[in-house]
Amino acid sequence: MARHYLDHASSCPLRPEARAAMVAELDAAGGDPGRVHEEGRAVRVRIEVARDQVASFLGVRPRQVVFTSGGTEAVNAAVFGASRARPGRAMVAAAVEHSAVREASVRSGTVLELAVDGAGRIELGHLAELLGSPPPGGVALVHCQWANHETGTLQPVGAVVAACREAGVPVHVDACAAVGHVGTDLGALDADLVSVSAHKFGGPAGVGALVVGAGRRFEPFVVGGHQERARRAGFENAPAIAGFGAVAATLAAPDRLEREAELARQKVAGLLDAALVIDGVALLGDRRPEGRLPHLVCLGLEGVEAEPVLIGLDRAGIAVHSGSACSSETLEPSPVLAAMGVDAERSLRLSVGWSTTEEDVAAFATAFAPVLQGLRALRT
């Protein structure tokens, strides 16, 4: 049976450019990039080329890019650095933030919950209240995702950063779901800390970056060496870094990101055309295409829970994800959807990417209604 992958928001298949760069690095003479011998210097040069490529794509200076093992480590590093710089102060985060953001913040101390609207978008008025009347001791860090990982809703990230800057409060932007899918000029944004993950847009798994605002300093989360200008210890994953850089360079080509976004919107429109004609299926999050990520949609499913729908589609050869409850690790209601005031246990997330074909869209259109209707029939 042919397989059809519609879960790019979880992990996007490796792009050919990344694979080629990684193979070249694996075939090269290995060396410690921290050493002065020729072998070490050669690896160092290739790492710095990749850093330049990532920085250029993100609109920042190379020295602002700190390579990490992925977005989760970048988030934890941001929280750790902010909590050490402002000990005892609270953090501000909405319930729609990724679990890495929420859990790292809770471990650091008090967390103030930032309100969101029915689309999962941050309420700027509530942020102003929190910044205007902070808790005793003040605020250590405000979190704002660039776009929601379950619904695709784009956040008013520029307004959040501006409000935090005026209040003199550091801000961390989780851009893992957004980078590689929409324009993310981090230089213009000027946030204090931004987390990025390579595998979300076709780079290799196991590498990401924490982008540090110009002139900002923070205490490193991972210690034990002087790598990454003493901001993240550990032997650099040169093949993964090379793949990260290659994908960044590919997407930095003129109009490349815009073209891919338009193709993604067209494929998502085809998925929605097949889904929204069925009674009891609704689009969650921002309903406007311009208000959400181009490659991702979340559907509310009336009358049936997520897990059997996922299993039914998987048996039909289609890989999707639930925006609500079901994964290989947990089976819990989604705090994102609960914060939006919608059913947190009955949803389906569909996401496309660079390798998605019209056949993938057609396969979903053929299988979705029979799977959903069959499950509803069992219920009755």
What are the residue numbers of the active site?
A: 326
Element spanning 50, H or E: helix 38-58
Rounded Cα gap, residues 308 and 377, in angstroms: 13
Are 120 and 340 in contact by the 8 Å Cβ rule? The answer is: yes
Largest Cα–Cα distance in the chain?
72
Are 273 and 368 in contact by the 8 Å Cβ rule? The answer is: no
Two tokens at 191?
């946030």
* Backbone Cα Rg of the chain: 21
Distances (CA, A) of 294 to 63, 81, 113, 266, 350: 30, 32, 28, 9, 11
User: What sign results for the dihedral spanned by CA atoms 249, 252, 253, 258?
Assistant: positive
Rounded Cα gap, residues 111 and 79, in angstroms: 12
Q: Which residues of 281-301 are buried (b: 16+ CB within 10 A; e: fewer)?
A: bbebbbeeeeebbbbbbbbbb
Amino acid identity for residue 127 in this structure: L
Rounded Cα gap, residues 347 and 303, in angstroms: 11
DSSP reduced 3-state for 334: coil
Rounded Cα gap, residues 83 and 77, in angstroms: 10
Nearest 5°: CA angle at 150, between 286 and 278? Answer: 65
Query: Which has the closest alpha carbon to 149: 354, 300, 8?
Result: 8
Rounded Cα gap, residues 184 and 204, in angstroms: 20
Rounded Cα gap, residues 324 and 299, in angstroms: 10
Nearest 5°: CA angle at 60, between 176 and 73? Answer: 35
